[in-house]
Amino acid sequence: MTEIPACPLCAMENTYQDGDNYICPDCAHEWPAVAVKAEDDDGERVVKDANGNVLADGDSVILIKDLKVKGSSITLKGGTKVKSIRLASGDHEVDCRIDGTSFMLKAAYLKKA
Distance CA 17, CA 9 (A): 16
**Residue 73, C-beta contacts closer than 8 angstroms, at least 6 positions apart:** none
pLDDT of amino acid 4: 83
pLDDT of amino acid 80: 95
Question: Are the beta carbons of 16 and 33 closer than 8 angstroms?
Answer: no
Per-residue pLDDT in tens (0 to 9) along the chain, 113 residues? 468 888 888 888 889 988 888 899 998 888 877 654 455 556 667 888 988 899 999 999 999 999 999 999 999 999 999 999 999 988 889 999 999 999 999 999 999 99
pLDDT of amino acid 8: 81
Domain boundaries, the chain: 10-39, 47-112
Domain 47-112 fold is SH3 type barrels. (2.30.30)
pLDDT of amino acid 87: 93
pLDDT of amino acid 35: 53
- CA nearest neighbour of 112 among 74, 92, 84: 84
